Amino acid sequence: MSKIIGVIVIILLIVLYSSYYTIPEGKQVVLLQFGKPVGKPIQEAGLKFKIPLIQKARFFEKRILKWDGDPNQIPTKDKKYIWVDTTARWRISDALKFLQNVATESGAASRLDDIIDAVVRNFISKNILVEVVRSADWVAPVRDEELEGGRATVTPLLDVEMKAKIDFGREKITQAILEEAAKITPQYGIELVDVKIKRINYVESVRNKVYERMISERKRVAAEYRSEGEGKRAEILGTMEKELKKIRSGAYRTAQEIRGKADAEATRIYGLAYSRDADFYTFYKTLETYRAASNNNAYIILSTDSDYYKYLKKIWK
């Protein structure tokens, strides 16, 4: 008898234990009875009661959840193919509808894939690329040519793209995507809190063309700088040669003037020195000619009556 009572007590304890459950903060519960939901979702945290063995508590998040879609290739209105990577924040607003329509968070993510991707594709294809990329209050930077008379460093096509007028901008487009998608999600018990475009990039083929255009633009600017540098180099070298010739000419003229003055002064000194004794000067110069006139490969035939030998005649006498 005591054993039977013990078993009954244990069974009663198990039944009593299974009739209570706790809802933590950030969670909500839908009660299932034989697999079907009963009553409204319970959102208040705390200790709750349910019919044991018949009812089961199904827990759902009340907090904001994250959704990340797969990047999609979408053409813009101006026929530029881009990859668009989108993210969103959502919460379970009606746990009962959520359970009946998508059941789990993975099911909700799959449904959001269809809803958000379709809306994003629709809005991206209806707008040009600059509208999707830029904000409405974006201002084109001042070009180099507008600063102290510098040169332009962008191509005319890129210049037009930079100064293109923005009617909507990225923020308004993402807000419109959120509003449009938020109209569909409540039927699944989902409240869409926010939608953002994480990243936009060209598809591979277009990206390569963009890179090629960027490279050619940089090469054009480099060639322009190089050409200007060569012109400056030629100008500097020409000025240097001109200045060098001017300096050399002045130096040569100064040297000739100094040399002329020195020769004149030397001639004056020689004249003063030799004018003191004309006979000695004549004798000295004649002896110099004797030394200079000796040549092993030549003969000079002169008459003995020549004045050239008058000093030798005197020696012989």
What's 135's domain CATH number? Answer: 3.30.479.30
Structural domain ending residue among the three candidates 29, 61, 93 = 61
Structural domain ending residue among the three candidates 202, 231, 249 = 202
Question: Within this chain, do residues 312 and 285 fall inside the same structural domain, yes or no?
Answer: yes
120-154: b (≥16 Cβ within 10 Å) or e: beebbeebbbbbbbbeeeeeeeeeeeeeeeeeebb
Mean pLDDT of the chain: 83
Question: Within this chain, do residues 114 and 159 fall inside the same structural domain, yes or no?
Answer: yes
Question: Within this chain, do residues 177 and 86 fall inside the same structural domain, yes or no?
Answer: yes
Domain-embedded: residue 266: no
278-293 and 204-275 helices cross at what angle (nearest 10)? 130
Q: Which domain holds residue 26?
A: 2-61
Domain-embedded: residue 134: yes
Question: Within this chain, do residues 54 and 127 fall inside the same structural domain, yes or no?
Answer: no
Question: Within this chain, do residues 28 and 104 fall inside the same structural domain, yes or no?
Answer: no
Which residues share a beta bridge with 202? 82
Question: Within this chain, do residues 198 and 106 fall inside the same structural domain, yes or no?
Answer: yes
Predicted local distance difference test score (pLDDT) of residue 147: 44
Of the chain, the percentage scoring pLDDT greater than 90 comes to 44
Domain-embedded: residue 214: no
Predicted local distance difference test score (pLDDT) of residue 168: 82
Domain-embedded: residue 250: no
Q: Residues 16-25: what's their mean pLDDT?
A: 82
Which amino acid is present at 26?
G
Which residues share a beta bridge with 295? none
Distance CA 95, CA 32 (A): 12
Among candidates 120, 88, 91, 118, which has minimal Cα distance to 188?
91
Domain-embedded: residue 189: yes
Residue 12 banded pLDDT, cuts 50, 70, 90: low
Domain-embedded: residue 18: yes
Tell me which H or E stretch contains 75: strand 72-75
Question: Within this chain, do residues 126 and 86 fall inside the same structural domain, yes or no?
Answer: yes
Q: Residues 231-244: what's their mean pLDDT?
A: 92
Q: Residues 101-105: what's their mean pLDDT?
A: 92
**Residue with tokens 């969103």, as numbered in its chain:** 88
Domain-embedded: residue 91: yes
Predicted local distance difference test score (pLDDT) of residue 160: 53
Lowest-confidence segment of 112-121, 167-176, 274-283 by average pLDDT: 274-283
Structural domain ending residue among the three candidates 202, 224, 259 = 202
Predicted local distance difference test score (pLDDT) of residue 79: 85
Q: Residues 250-260: what's their mean pLDDT?
A: 92
Q: Residues 32-55: what's their mean pLDDT?
A: 88
Per-residue pLDDT reduced to its tens digit, 111-160: 999 999 999 999 999 998 888 888 776 665 555 444 444 444 444 445 55
Distance CA 38, CA 257 (A): 124
User: What is the pTM (predicted TM-score) of this model?
Assistant: 0.60
Predicted local distance difference test score (pLDDT) of residue 149: 47
Q: What is the Rg, in whole angstroms, of the alpha carbon atoms belonging to the chain?
A: 54
Question: Within this chain, do residues 87 and 143 fall inside the same structural domain, yes or no?
Answer: yes
Q: Residues 180-184: what's their mean pLDDT?
A: 95
Distance CA 88, CA 67 (A): 5
Predicted local distance difference test score (pLDDT) of residue 26: 92
Per-residue pLDDT reduced to its tens digit, 293-304: 666 676 667 666
Question: Within this chain, do residues 45 and 114 fall inside the same structural domain, yes or no?
Answer: no
Question: Within this chain, do residues 56 and 155 fall inside the same structural domain, yes or no?
Answer: no
Question: Within this chain, do residues 93 and 57 fall inside the same structural domain, yes or no?
Answer: no
Domain-embedded: residue 256: no
Count of structural domains within the chain? 3
- Given a cut of 80, whether residue 82 has pLDDT beyond it is yes
